[in-house]
Amino acid sequence: MEIPRIPRCEYPITIREIGPFDAECASVGMVVRAPTGKILLLDRLKGIYGGKDSSNCEFDPGLGYACPAGHIEKDEHPFYAGLRELEEETGINKALKSASIVLELWASNPCRKAKNHHWYIMLIEIDRELGAIMEPTKHGSLTWADPDVALGFDLEPAWRSILWHMKQKGIL
């Protein structure tokens, strides 16, 4: 699958690292990094409004390339929610060398039930480039890319902000 190199989405997402993290929803996102430095990205097909036909992020800001991520369930620890979501979305449950929460953010990205999110961002180092599409109705492809290359992808708006922020902080 050809990856679009020109971002079509400039949907504005505000993020901040300073609390209060008074968001309506809590999510965890996993930046999975191989020894090559490449990170794992999934192409989201459904977006927030579920429309495959909604190729325009102004209409559906949940579309585009994104790191594995998901909502944290009630009483679930963000770290274990991250490992659970990673396995659900990519099948990855082995070859992990390290995993830790490296950032906590407030972001103005919407989902089906909320206008903003309290994000926990995990950095997961993995032995080799693994993974498969486990939810084919949700994700079109799984790609490994250098972070600088990934920033040129058609990223999902929240991940465009998060990855830029991590790059600026020197985490990526």
Residues found near Zn ion in the complex (CB under 5 A): 25, 111, 114
Please give the Cα distance from 93 to 71 (Å, whole number). 18
Supply the minimum distance, in Å, between the C-beta of residue 16 and Zn ion. Answer: 17
In the bound state with Zn ion, the residue whose beta carbon lies nearer, of 72 and 172, is 72
What is the separation of C-alpha 160 from the centre of its chain, rounded to a whole number of angstroms? 9
Supply the minimum distance, in Å, between the C-beta of residue 74 and Zn ion. Answer: 13
Name the 3-class secondary structure at 145. Answer: strand
Please give the Cα distance from 10 to 37 (Å, whole number). 26
In the complex, which residue's CB is closest to Zn ion? 25
In the bound state with Zn ion, the residue whose beta carbon lies nearer, of 114 and 134, is 114
For 72, list phi and psi in degrees, rounded to 5.
Answer: -90, 125
Supply the minimum distance, in Å, between the C-beta of residue 110 and Zn ion. Answer: 8
In the bound state with Zn ion, the residue whose beta carbon lies nearer, of 34 and 111, is 111
In the bound state with Zn ion, the residue whose beta carbon lies nearer, of 99 and 114, is 114
Cβ contact 96:130 at 8 Å: no
Cβ contact 111:69 at 8 Å: no
Supply the minimum distance, in Å, between the C-beta of residue 149 and Zn ion. Answer: 28
